[in-house]
Chains A and B, each alone.
Chain A
Amino acid sequence: MTAPPTRAAFEDFLFAEAALLDDWRLDDWFALFAEGATYEAPTVGAPEGDDPARSLFYIADDYVRLRERVLRLTKKEAHAEHPRSRLRRMISNVRVLSSEAGASAVTGNFLCHRSKHGRIDVFFGHSLYTIDWSREPWKIRSKRVVLDMDRLYPGKISIIL
């Protein structure tokens, strides 16, 4: 069986993903996701491994709603992000947690700054990915964004984290 990619290869993938989000290339970002993929953000302080079918999250998108989320953000009627905020995020501490059958569970820390109207919102936490590397191009099967703040200080997650 093929050996999983190196941590550095996953880092490159996550760095590229981050750049797409910061540059508002959202269609290209959505293309990173496999059909049937999920994108989730549990509430701050939620127990690890919480299930959006049982607990209230901030975001629990299936593939269709993720596509719609991206589509919505491309419209000027998505008022919270029109005009668009300015974004830059740092990705670090990337680790490969496990690998099986052409896919790996990967985690990394993030620090995302969002600036709009002279105010700076800071989001920090870690993300959990399942990344399918069995064929090119790699695809994200799931992404869970875990905010590590103790309260959601910005009143909204109007961007994609």
Chain B
Amino acid sequence: MMLLEPMAPATRAASGLVVEDRERHLFRVARRAFTDAEVLEAERRAIFDRCWLYIGHGSELLQNGDYLTRRVGGREMVFNRDRAGAVHAFLNTCPHRGATLVREPRGNALSFQCFYHGWAFNVNGRFASRYAEGNYGEGHYSGGCADLTPAPRLDQYRDFFFICFDRDAVELADYLAGAKEYIDLVADHGEAGMEIVGGDQTYLIGANWKLLAENSVDGFHGLPTHSTYFDYLQNVGDIDLGAVGQTFRGSMQDLGNGHAVIEYPSPWGRPVARWTPAWGEDNRAMIEAGRARLVAAYGEARGLRMAEYSRNMIIFPNLVINDIMAVTVRTFYPLEPDRMEVGAWALGVTGEDERLRALRLFNFLEFLGPGGLATPDDVEALESCQRGYRNQREAPWNDISKGMPRGANARTDDEEQIRCFWREWDRRVASAPALDRVGPAG
């Protein structure tokens, strides 16, 4: 669907909201893409109803019967492990009259029961109530019409579980494309795997969701937005400022399907295997042993890459795995064009030494999250952009052109990784089903 008149007829424009002019090295995005309810509706149909979306990590469902509830792609989901150990993703709504079935954020259950009329279900989704004859036909018990509705697709890669509301979508492994290699680089940190550490950060931001997609992999904003964070690193002896410049010597990879990553030498310490003086000599041997283990397990090149380098990755549309001064997994959904809900977690090595776990969490909070020394300024920036878009009638375009003359040799502080996101966004939104096709599904 064409949402806006393209800026110039010679430029590539699918939705009309993204304009790329390779000859002039100009890449622009209409600010309307961040403010318009019609665009959000097109996104729901073309992106959140079609793409694979992260729902949770296998480590969050350790025991059979464990469950949690989570909003994914505008739906309310139950993500759980049944009594046989199989993982499910159900729409959190009673098949009877629609009440929210599971109302606790997480727990362990042998069955689910709706509080409204008492319909009950096995944790594998099967209708489990038994009423006296005459109440219901046999089909209610055998035909599945009273069973919980599962997400049409559920699959996992290295314990990262995804769902998809499009039955015809490509396989998850194909969807993830080049991102799999970078998920491996995180999933291989621990010999016994990785786990989500207790405590999740859920918060609202008064900005369009795509602003956080851009920001999560944006190397350009690091120094201007976060100078006080780099001051902190310097003050506590975690960095020499000369090292900050080296972050731009990294590289950027287009991972396909709108996914992209930037990878660079770390200016900060990394609990996985990069010790810094700020952590004290006491912890040095432990961290250097981790580094030696990575080199022994994966060879010098890959081992040191895992230990030393940081990676910010976006998996289209809204999964961020940032393997930086700690590992954060982050997802975010639009509530309205100018409001999003963010879920953020810390990923740690399963069974790691408790000193290392403590250090990992301490390091996470120095930068990340609503109370970190950096993320609040990101949130401020995003909300400030959103306010700026009130001026869009006279100032209608964002500029995402940095590094275009460098072509394939993009730097981490260029914007090519953000352009990867927008090209996929544009392609998908342009194919959005017409808005008048509203109605109950199939």
Q: Is the CB of A46 within 8 A of B377?
A: no
Q: In the bound complex, how far is the Cα of B365 from the Cα of A158, in angstroms?
A: 13
Q: In the bound complex, how far is the Cα of B229 from the Cα of A78, in angstroms?
A: 9
Among B199, B206, B346, B373, residue most surrounded by chain A Cβ atoms (within 10 Å): B199
A77 in the interface, Cβ–Cβ < 8 Å? yes
Q: Is the CB of B199 within 8 A of A152?
A: no
Q: Is the CB of A77 within 8 A of B227?
A: yes
Given the known interface contacts A155-B206, A156-B203, the answer about A58 and B362 at a Cβ–Cβ threshold of 8 Å is no
Q: Is the CB of A72 within 8 A of B228?
A: yes
In-complex Cβ contact of B377 among A45, A64, A78, A157 (8 A): A78
Q: In the bound complex, how far is the Cα of B232 from the Cα of A52, in angstroms?
A: 20
A56 to chain B, nearest CB (A): 4
Q: In the bound complex, how far is the Cα of B361 from the Cα of A11, in angstroms?
A: 33
Q: Which of B201-253 contact A (CB under 8 A)?
A: 201-206, 225, 227-229, 231-232, 235-236
Interface string of B101-112 (1 = CB under 8 A from A): 000010000000
Q: In the bound complex, how far is the Cα of B228 from the Cα of A75, in angstroms?
A: 8
Q: In the bound complex, how far is the Cα of B229 from the Cα of A36, in angstroms?
A: 22
Q: In the bound complex, how far is the Cα of B380 from the Cα of A96, in angstroms?
A: 38
Q: In the bound complex, how far is the Cα of B228 from the Cα of A71, in angstroms?
A: 9
Q: Is the CB of A56 within 8 A of B206?
A: no
Interface string of B332-363 (1 = CB under 8 A from A): 00000000001001100000001001100110
Q: Is the CB of B206 within 8 A of A54?
A: no
Q: Which of A68-98 contact B (CB under 8 A)?
A: 68-69, 71-72, 75, 77-80
Q: Is the CB of A41 within 8 A of B235?
A: no
Q: Is the CB of B380 within 8 A of A80?
A: yes
B22 in the interface, Cβ–Cβ < 8 Å? no
Q: In the bound complex, how far is the Cα of B365 from the Cα of A42, in angstroms?
A: 11
Q: Is the CB of A152 within 8 A of B373?
A: no
Q: Which of B351-385 contact A (CB under 8 A)?
A: 354, 357-358, 361-362, 364-366, 369-371, 373, 375-377, 379-381, 383
Given the known interface contacts A79-B380, A117-B387, the answer about A54 and B373 at a Cβ–Cβ threshold of 8 Å is no
Q: Is the CB of A119 within 8 A of B206?
A: yes
Q: Is the CB of A45 within 8 A of B203?
A: no
Chain A residues with Cβ below 8 Å from B197 are 54-56
B442 in the interface, Cβ–Cβ < 8 Å? no
A128 in the interface, Cβ–Cβ < 8 Å? no
Q: Is the CB of A54 within 8 A of B357?
A: yes
Q: In the bound complex, how far is the Cα of B232 from the Cα of A78, in angstroms?
A: 12
In-complex Cβ contact of B342 among A45, A64, A65, A155 (8 A): A155
A22 to chain B, nearest CB (A): 19
Chain B residues with Cβ below 8 Å from A112 are none
Q: How many residues of A contact B (CB 8 A)?
A: 38
Chain B residues with Cβ below 8 Å from A135 are none
Q: Is the CB of A155 within 8 A of B361?
A: no
B200 in the interface, Cβ–Cβ < 8 Å? yes
B198 in the interface, Cβ–Cβ < 8 Å? yes
Q: Is the CB of A43 within 8 A of B201?
A: yes
Q: Is the CB of B371 within 8 A of A41?
A: yes
Interface string of B380-412 (1 = CB under 8 A from A): 110100010000000000000000000000000
Interface string of A115-156 (1 = CB under 8 A from B): 001010000000000000000000000000000000111111
Interface string of B90-101 (1 = CB under 8 A from A): 000000000000
Q: Is the CB of B198 within 8 A of A55?
A: yes
Q: In the bound complex, how far is the Cα of B373 from the Cα of A147, in angstroms?
A: 19
- Closest B residue to A65 by CB, please name it: B366
Q: In the bound complex, how far is the Cα of B202 from the Cα of A44, in angstroms?
A: 9
Q: Is the CB of B201 within 8 A of A56?
A: yes
In-complex Cβ contact of A57 among B205, B206, B361 (8 A): B361
Chain A residues with Cβ below 8 Å from B370 are 58, 152, 154-157
Interface string of A32-58 (1 = CB under 8 A from B): 000000000111111000101111111
Q: In the bound complex, how far is the Cα of B199 from the Cα of A52, in angstroms?
A: 10
- Closest A residue to B355 by CB, please name it: A53
Q: Is the CB of A155 within 8 A of B227?
A: no
- Closest B residue to A152 by CB, please name it: B203
Q: In the bound complex, how far is the Cα of B149 from the Cα of A127, in angstroms?
A: 43
A59 in the interface, Cβ–Cβ < 8 Å? yes
Q: In the bound complex, how far is the Cα of B345 from the Cα of A154, in angstroms?
A: 18
Q: In the bound complex, how far is the Cα of B374 from the Cα of A130, in angstroms?
A: 28
Extra 6 A-B pairs, beta carbons < 8 Å, given A54-B357, A72-B229, A79-B225: A43-B199, A54-B354, A56-B345, A56-B365, A69-B373, A80-B380
B contact residues vs A (CB 8 Å cutoff): 105, 197-206, 225, 227-229, 231-232, 235-236, 342, 345-346, 354, 357-358, 361-362, 364-366, 369-371, 373, 375-377, 379-381, 383, 387
Q: Can you list 19 A-B pairs, Cβ within 8 angstroms, ordered by A?
A: A52-B358, A54-B354, A56-B361, A56-B369, A65-B232, A68-B232, A72-B232, A75-B228, A75-B231, A77-B228, A78-B228, A79-B377, A117-B383, A151-B203, A152-B201, A155-B205, A155-B342, A155-B383, A157-B370
